[in-house]
């Protein structure tokens, strides 16, 4: 067993915790909406058709905001199709995922479902096949109280109270050639600026997210951000970042170091945004909305025929089943978002149910937690107050892709009543960690849990839904020193009272 030491200084504050860092994402894709959160014929269905067992799991997950309705889907979406009487809603082709959309779930049903979750709605507008007028129409229908054509139409549809959505995404991944209506950075920056200006003319307190690069591997990464922000800086508040990770070619060590790439992505976008800020002599700082992040075995899906030319309703697509190793990497990515919380003020786990998701369902059957469910739900529940940046002294591990990484990562939060410490061990052996918490003035361990297994490939499935779960972590607290055993390739959370 190796050792590591950590010091947590309550004055080493990254930022006050913004709960939007624990956001989620629901896209009309595969079985996410239909046969996922919504299954009217299921024994657990409520009066609107949403599964109560799924609702309970999403609530347990602790998502603060939910981005909707896409994703690639939004770039061909007509929001009007999803409002009004359900028996009059059209069936449309979704070009993004080559499926049929029935529109039985639309804005009002989805926003009503979020009320059960105590989650806020984050809406995306279609700038792929539509533009400024359609965005303004959706804003009026969604947020205007009454007395206008579209707000009164919402009342006629049975929803007299406005939804008061304040955070809006100006399109989705508009740099990607897979995106319906994709554009050059200059063209997109101009339409985003004009749309943002118009929307804020209608409602000044909106917070708008402009599209950044779809990934750090895009050939225009960096230059896309600069060009888009040069055009739109005055009218937006966030720039988006999207990143997905997977184990490739059995290279577990590089996979465990994936947070290195996420840090690079964030730091590059921050530097670019600040460059534009200084060039424009602006007093506004653009924040990052990391509104798509997860583990996604994209290579395998691209090699399959899941997305094909058949027009099907709710086909099984992108239903990754996650292992213990996946969950450990997932936990490290969430820790990284907290580490960079001074600039990453909002994030959306993509996605929530069935589609690269922490929750799985079977039509007519049960719902269960994937391995990735646990780091998210525990972190969302325990984190509060302020995010702290600990000092870590640990050995390093080597990987082919990222070189040297610390064997141990740590991030902490400190609130009025409790503190929380989140730790990652990316090495193949156990590590005994001593944490100096004297400055936190905490006297007891309220909770200590870890996610690990001798079988790193272990998964939760329909047949074995509880194969992997949280275990008690070995931790002791004495005289301001916390001693923790981190199992090999593990994610751990400690709550101090």
Which residues form the catalytic set? 173, 292
Number of neighbours of residue 197 by Cβ within 10 angstroms = 15
By C-alpha distance, which of 466, 349, 335 is closest to 58? Answer: 349
Angle between helices 107-117 and 52-61 (to 10 degrees): 60
Number of neighbours of residue 44 by Cβ within 10 angstroms = 16
Contacts of 443 by beta carbon, 8 Å cutoff, 6+ apart: 477, 497
């Amino acid at each position: 067993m190796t050792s590591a030491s950590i010091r947590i200084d309550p004055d080493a504050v990254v930022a006050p915790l913004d709960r939007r860092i624990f956001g989620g994402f629901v896209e009309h894709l595969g079985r996410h909406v239909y046969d996922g959160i919504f299954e009217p014929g299921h024994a657990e269905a409520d009066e609107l058709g949403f599964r109560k067992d799924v609702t309970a799991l999403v609530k347990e997950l602790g998502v603060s905001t939910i981005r909707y309705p896409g994703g690639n889907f939004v770039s061909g979406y007509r929001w009007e199709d999803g409002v009004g009487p359900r028996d009059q809603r059209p069936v449309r082709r979704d070009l993004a995922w080559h499926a049929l959309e029935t529109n039985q779930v639309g804005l009002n049903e989805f926003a009503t479902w979020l009320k059960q979750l105590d989650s806020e709605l984050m809406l995306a507008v279609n700038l792929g096949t539509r533009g400024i007028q359609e965005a303004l129409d959706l804003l009026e229908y969604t947020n205007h109280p009454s007395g206008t054509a579209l707000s009164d139409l919402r009342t006629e549809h049975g929803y007299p109270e406005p939804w008061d959505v304040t955070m809006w995404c100006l399109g989705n991944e508009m740099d990607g050639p897979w995106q319906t209506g994709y554009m050059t950075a200059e063209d997109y920056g101009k339409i985003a600026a004009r749309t943002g200006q118009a929307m804020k003319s209608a409602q000044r307190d909106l917070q708008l997210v402009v599209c950044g690069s779809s990934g750090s591997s895009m050939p225009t990464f960096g230059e896309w951000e600069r060009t888009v922000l040069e055009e739109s800086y005055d009218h937006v508040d966030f720039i988006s970042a999207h990143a997905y990770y997977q184990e490739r070619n059995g290279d577990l060590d590089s996979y465990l170091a994936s947070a290195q790439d996420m840090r690079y992505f964030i730091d590059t976008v921050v530097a670019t945004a600040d460059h534009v800020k200084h060039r424009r002599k602006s007093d506004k700082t653009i924040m990052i909305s990391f509104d798509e992040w997860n583990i996604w075995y994209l290579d395998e899906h691209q090699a399959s025929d899941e997305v094909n030319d058949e027009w099907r309703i709710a086909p099984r697509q992108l239903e990754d089943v996650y292992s213990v190793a996946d969950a450990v990497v997932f936990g490290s990515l969430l820790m990284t978002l907290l580490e960079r919380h001074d600039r990453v003020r909002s994030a959306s786990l993509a996605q929530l149910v069935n589609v690269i998701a922490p929750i799985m369902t079977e039509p007519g059957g049960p719902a269960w937690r994937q391995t990735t469910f646990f780091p998210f739900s525990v972190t969302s529940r325990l984190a509060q107050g302020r995010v702290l940046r600990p000092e870590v002294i640990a050995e390093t591990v080597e990987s082919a892709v990222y070189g040297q990484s610390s064997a141990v990562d740590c991030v902490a939060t400190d609130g009025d009543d409790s503190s929380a410490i989140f730790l990652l061990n990316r090495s193949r052996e156990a590590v005994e960690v001593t944490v100096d918490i004297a400055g936190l003035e905490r006297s007891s361990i309220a909770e200590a849990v870890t996610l690990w297994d001798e079988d790193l490939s272990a998964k939760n499935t329909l047949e074995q839904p509880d194969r992997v779960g949280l275990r008690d972590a070995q931790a002791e607290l004495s005289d301001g020193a916390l001693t923790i055993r981190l199992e090999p390739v593990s994610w751990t959370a400690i709550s101090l009272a």
